[in-house]
Amino acid sequence: MPFSLLPREESFFNLFTEVARRSHTAAEHLAGLFAEPERAVYHVDQIKRLEHECDQITHEVVNRLDRTFITPIDREDIYRLASDLDDVIDVIDGVARRTQLFKVGPAPEAAKQLTAVIQNVVGALLKGVEHLKNRDGVMEASIQVKQFEEEADAIYHAAIGQLFETEQDARELIKWKEIYDNLERCVDQAEDVANVLESIAIKHG
């Protein structure tokens, strides 16, 4: 590794971890939102709070990037990772807000299955981000994310097929189709983060 008299700003790793931890907690509340409809308002409020905190942390990443001369990883990777991580919790928040806007009833089993996969996939992202500084375990976490994405894809397609086959109310069909789309999008967004983590691990491994 090249020697430099100028110190590198290493706090980016801590900030990434803080966003990933909040995203994981938000994923737990998302699962709670569908499992405990009587506590829906609580779960939605908690997700919104966590999303707002992640926005603030992401802004801090960008601000530090502007004033940091030497970064621990490439500047473009820092910016992309910060942006993609923030997008994960943005999608979670979007799903939560749609459940309120649409005034949905009890969640189908497939929706609960997808939120369980989202918990797992964001948990794998958290492990990858926590290991990013030392690079150990990043590739394993990335592989896990992609496996969860395949699981979510199968659940999503089965759910959409069943929805169009059995749902007679057009409004309910539209509501749940959009919710399923965004649940699946959340997993796709997590895979985007995993791809960034994998790229960083390869470049700096």
Output the pLDDT for position 2.
Answer: 43
Output the pLDDT for position 30.
Answer: 98
Output the pLDDT for position 134.
Answer: 85
Output the pLDDT for position 131.
Answer: 93
Q: Give CA–CA dist 86/46, Å, rounded.
A: 16
Rounded to an integer, what is the distance from CA 30 to the centroid of its chain?
11
pTM of the predicted protein model = 0.92
Using alpha carbons only, how large is the chain's radius of gyration in Å? 18
pLDDT beneath 70: ranges in the chain: 1-10, 205
What is the dihedral angle through the alpha carbons of 121, 122, 125, 127, rounded to the nearest 10 degrees?
A: -100
Query: Greatest CA span in the chain, whole angstroms?
Result: 69
Output the pLDDT for position 205.
Answer: 63
User: Comparing C-alpha atoms, which of 30, 16, 17 is closest to residue 118?
Assistant: 30
User: Comparing C-alpha atoms, which of 115, 147, 154, 151 is closest to residue 24?
Assistant: 115
CATH number listed for the domain at residues 11-204: 1.20.58.220
Output the pLDDT for position 5.
Answer: 35
Output the pLDDT for position 68.
Answer: 83
Output the pLDDT for position 23.
Answer: 98
Output the pLDDT for position 7.
Answer: 43
Output the pLDDT for position 3.
Answer: 37
